[in-house]
Amino acid sequence: MNISSKPFGKMPSGEIALLFSLENDHGIVLNLTNYGGIITSIYTPDRNGLAADVTLGYPDWEGWLTNEAYFGCMVGRTCNRIGGAKFILKGVEYKVSANQGEYQLHGGFEGFNKKLWTAKPSEKSDSVGVTLEYLSVDGEEGFPGNVQVTVEYSLNNRNEVTMEFLAVTDKPTPVNLTNHSYFNLGCESAGDIYDHQLILFADHITETDAYSIPTGQFLEVKNTPFDFTRTHSIGERIHELNMGYDDNFVLRNQTGKLAPAARVYDPVSGRLLEIFTTEPGVQLYTANWFDGSLIGKGGTKYRKHNAFALETQHFPDSMNHPEFPSVILRPGKTYNSQTVWRFSVVDGI
């Protein structure tokens, strides 16, 4: 196993972001930067042993610096949406930045995805990794409390990419972290993901309104396009929906322990991605707004449904729904979340 680093790009402040490369003994390479905690690429072999990048992204530093599509980044303080860009804690209303119309999306205008994190590489007997740290100060994007955040990315010889998120605070505050990588298991330039086969370990989704804000109700997936309790191709029923999938699936596991969340298989390459998480939910998003204007790696024009994201998370807008699992972190407690991506090659699922 091997880990290396090199300069990646210059921040507007003059600081230099680094690019780390983690490689295991089976040909999997994970590249990430301490700017935004972004995973810039994952190379993994297909059934013929040929490695390809299975994550979408930009061809140059300037694209990663703006990263309007949230490719591969760390999302916080809270991922997904906050309805009305406000919430109440102990009788006090907090108004957070509304960067998407009247609500907040993915932490605001300059969330964790726009920060330069301190970085420390690590080598263990069975893995290589990078530990990132960032202090989110009281009032940042409207959130209360100073929050110290630690994220550890690691790669092992079981072909697993592990992300562990830790946070502590000095005031009660919402915390809901995720990584926003977009995958195409054929390769990042392979086109649509309609033939990718998907299983989700979820029997319900959280119902949303016209602005994708949860209503507080849970909907059964049975006999709907959201039913991935057994294998379906992503494209089989996607056109029954308005734009595509952008929904939070309520995972069966609600124990907080690591458990299966999803399995995705590309029958062309043979690549399988299995996702395990301690989180109660996962957001399936199918790149619904790509229209060919975004130029990706190698000059590829990314188009609608060219990728999927499976963002492990607590439910969207949870701070405004007491019936949802709580996202409020309190002083003296530690936020701890873990997600694992396991890559392999198989003949079907």
Domain range list for the chain: 2-345
- In DSSP terms, 271 is beta-bridged to 345
* pLDDT value of position 259: 98
Which helix (H) or strand (E) is 205 found in, with range?
strand 202-208
Where the chain has pLDDT below 70, the residues are none
The burial class, CB within 10 Å (0-12 / 13-18 / 19+), for 223 is exposed
| Distance in angstroms (rounded) separating the CA atoms of residues 233 and 226 | 11
Q: What's the pLDDT tens digit per position in 166-178?
A: 999 999 999 999 9
Q: Is 188 a catalytic residue?
A: no
| Distance in angstroms (rounded) separating the CA atoms of residues 254 and 44 | 31
| Distance in angstroms (rounded) separating the CA atoms of residues 163 and 129 | 10
* pLDDT value of position 243: 96
Marked catalytic residue, from 188, 305, 311, 314: 311
Q: Does the pTM of the predicted model rise above 0.85?
A: yes
Class of domain 2-345: mainly beta
Marked catalytic residue, from 106, 180, 196, 204: 180
Q: Is 274 a catalytic residue?
A: no
Q: How far is it between the farthest Cα atoms of the chain?
A: 59
